[in-house]
Structure 1
Amino acid sequence: MRINVLQHTPNEGPGAIKAWAEDRDNKVYVYHPETFGIFPKADETDMLVVLGGPMSPGDDLPWLEEERQLIKDCLKQHLPILGICLGAQQIAICLGSSVHPAAHKEVGWAPVYKQNDAIAGLPDKLLALHWHQDMFEMPAESHLLYSSDLLANQGFLVNGNVIGLQFHLETLADNVREIVINDGAYAESGNDLHQTPAEILAQPLPSANKRAIYTMLDYLSVH
Structure 2
Amino acid sequence: MAGTAGSARVLVVQHEDGTGPGLVGEHLERTGLHLHTVHPWAGEALPARLDGYAGLLVLGGAPNCEDDAAAPWLPRVRELIRQAVADHVPLLGICLGGQLMAVALGGSVAPRGRMPEVGATPLRRLPAADRDAVFGGVPEGALAAQWHWDEITALPPDAVALLGGDDSRHQAFRVGACGWGVQFHPEVLAAVTADWAGSDGPAVKAAGGDPQAAVDSVRAAEPELRAVWGAMAEAWGEVVRRA
Deviating more after overlay: 3-12 vs 115-124: 115-124
**Structure 1 position 110, deviation (Å):** 1.3
Higher mean C-alpha displacement, 75-84 vs 55-64: 55-64
Alpha-carbon shift at residue 101 of structure 1 (Å): 1.9
1:100: how far off? 1.4
1:129 to 107, 123, 145: 145
Q: 1:212 aligns with which of 229, 232, 238?
A: 232
Aligned to 2:9: 2
Is 1:107 matched up with 2:124? no
1:164 maps to which residue? 181
Alignment counterpart, residue 147 of structure 1, candidates 156, 161, 164: 164
Kindly indicate whether residue 46 of structure 2 is the aligned counterpart of residue 39 of structure 1. Answer: yes
2:88 aligns with 78
1:98 shift after superposition: 1.7
Q: Secondary structure at the match of 2:107?
A: coil
The more displaced of 152-161 and 42-51 is 152-161
The alignment's C-alpha RMSD in Å is 2.0
Deviates more, 1:209-218 or 1:67-76: 209-218
Bigger CA drift: 144-153 or 66-75? 66-75
Which residue of the partner structure matches residue 20 of structure 2?
Answer: 13
Verify the 8 A CA contact 2:58 2:92 in the aligned structure 1.
yes
Q: CA deviation at 1:219?
A: 4.3
Structure 1 gaps, min length 5: none
Distance 2:193 2:112 in 1: 23
Unaligned runs of 5+ in 2: 1-7
Which amino acid in structure 2 is aligned with residue 68 of structure 1?
R
Bigger mean CA deviation after superposition, 167-176 or 211-220 = 211-220
Kept in 2: contact 1:11–1:182 (CA 8 A): no
d(CA) in 2 for partners of 1:134, 1:21: 27
Measure the CA separation in 2 of the matches of 1:156 and 1:209: 15
Do the aligned partners of residues 221 and 158 (structure 1) sit closer, same or farther apart at CA in structure 2, a change above 3 Å counting?
farther
Aligned equivalent of 1:118: 131
Distance 1:222 1:124 in 2: 27
Q: Tell me which amino acid in the other structure corresponds to 1:15.
A: G
Q: Kindly provide the CA deviation profile for residues 94-145 of structure 1, in whole angstroms up to 9, marking residues without a partner as x.
A: 2112211235431222111111223222211211111112122111111111
Q: Which has the larger displacement, 81-90 or 52-61? A: 52-61
Assess if the C-alpha contact under 8 Å between 1:8 and 1:34 holds in 2. Answer: yes
2:5: which partner in 1? none
Question: Under a length normalisation based on structure 2, what TM-score does the superposition of the two structures give?
Answer: 0.82
SS of residue paired to 2:97: helix
Deviation at 1:173, TM superposition (A): 4.1
What is aligned with 1:175?
192
Name the SS for the 2:35 alignment partner. strand
Q: Which moved more, 1:104-113 or 1:26-35?
A: 104-113
Give every structure 1 segment of 4 or more consecutive aligned residues whose post-TM-superposition deviation is greater than 4 Å: none
